[in-house]
Amino acid sequence: MKTNVAVSLVSCLCGCGEQFAPKSSEHRYYSDACRYRHRDRVDPSAIANNRARCARWATEHRNVEHAQPWLFGAPPFEAYLPGGGFSIEFADGQRFEQWQLSALHGMLTSLTGPHDVSVPMFSLAKWHTGCGWAAFLRDDDSAKKLAGTVHVVDLGGRQNAVQFGPLHRLKAPKVAKRGRRRLRIESVTPVCVRCTQTSGEQVMYTEPTTGNLLSTLTLMTPKRIGLLVDPATAKLELVERATHEARVHLAGRDGRLGDMHGWIGSVVVDANAVAHWLLEVAARIGFGGTTSFGFGRIRVTEL
């Protein structure tokens, strides 16, 4: 007597449309060609290697001596940004305004450890629940360690219990199109960008320029996600500006970072895919050097 055994077919992971009967749980491709094709499309290392190989071929066979930065593609990256975020809620229901965030910053620093000012361990973002703010930690282990935990902390000279919500991973942006595009950058919280002069004095920009937008974007943002980006590959030009100066006095700082100067409003820029991708990252983790105090939250839209 024959026994009919049902065979479950699965679709090839590369998206070619072929179906097959998997031999094991690791069998996800119809053929080796499908596996390599999928790797070349999604693996950041494979994408970077293919781009470098194409650039060498163009130099050798087409006499291409100078690249065209406006046509560069967005940096290859994993599906998710490193680290993760979670909500912050105090037992007594305390909420914070922007000028009160020194206390929240100090509490998180005591739990995560000291950090470089230009590459902070965490950033704060406005949130609709809890204390009104959520934290994003750029380190995977630190984010996993704190998410979902409860701590008794000293806040403003009194004991309070703080609970961190479950961990949420942030998806990395996807910018497939190459070439010049026009974007609007809107501030959600004041954007504070500092520049250290040769004399050692720090200047706070109260209006955005092409230079400070681009330098902040290419020098600070990649460091926060562990990515190496050649600044020459990012192109950004300021087209129009509708901003004004913003000043926030942080309470309890004893003069250190007390008066924060920045800008609020919106700007329109022309950008290539590299700058667009970095702006989308900044929209997720913050833009500028004081994101651990809740500054530099931006929104990016394509026009």
Better-scored residue on pLDDT, 277 or 289 = 277
Lowest average pLDDT, out of 25-39, 91-105, 228-242, goes to: 25-39
DSSP code at position 72: P
Give me the sign of the Cα torsion angle 24, 30, 35, 40. negative
Rounded Cα distance between 5 and 152, Å, is: 59
Task: Give the model's pLDDT for residue 61.
Answer: 63
- Which residues in the chain belong to E strands, given as ranges? 10-11, 19-20, 84-90, 122-126, 133-137, 150-155, 158-164, 181-187, 194-196, 202-204, 236-249, 259-271, 298-302
CA distances in angstroms from 286 to 60, 112, 124, 163, listed in the order given = 41, 18, 8, 23
CA distances in angstroms from 31 to 8, 11, 22, 95, 157, listed in the order given = 18, 12, 11, 56, 64
Asked if 172 and 285 count as a contact pair (C-beta separation under 8 A), the reply is: no
Task: Give the model's pLDDT for residue 301.
Answer: 97
Q: Which of 66-80, 200-214, 240-254, 289-303 has the highest mean pLDDT?
A: 289-303
Burial of 172 (0-12, 13-18, 19+ CB in 10 A): buried
pLDDT in tens, 44-86: 655 555 656 655 656 666 766 667 889 999 999 999 999 999 9
258 confidence band (pLDDT: 50, 70, 90): low
Structure tokens at 183: 């974007």
Rounded Cα distance between 266 and 240, Å, is: 9
Percentage of the chain modeled with pLDDT above 90: 56
Its pTM stands at: 0.80
Asked if 67 and 55 count as a contact pair (C-beta separation under 8 A), the reply is: yes
pLDDT in tens, 189-200: 999 887 655 555
Helix (H) or strand (E) holding 217: helix 210-219
pLDDT in tens, 86-97: 999 999 999 999
pLDDT in tens, 101-140: 999 999 999 999 887 777 889 999 999 999 999 999 999 9
251 confidence band (pLDDT: 50, 70, 90): confident
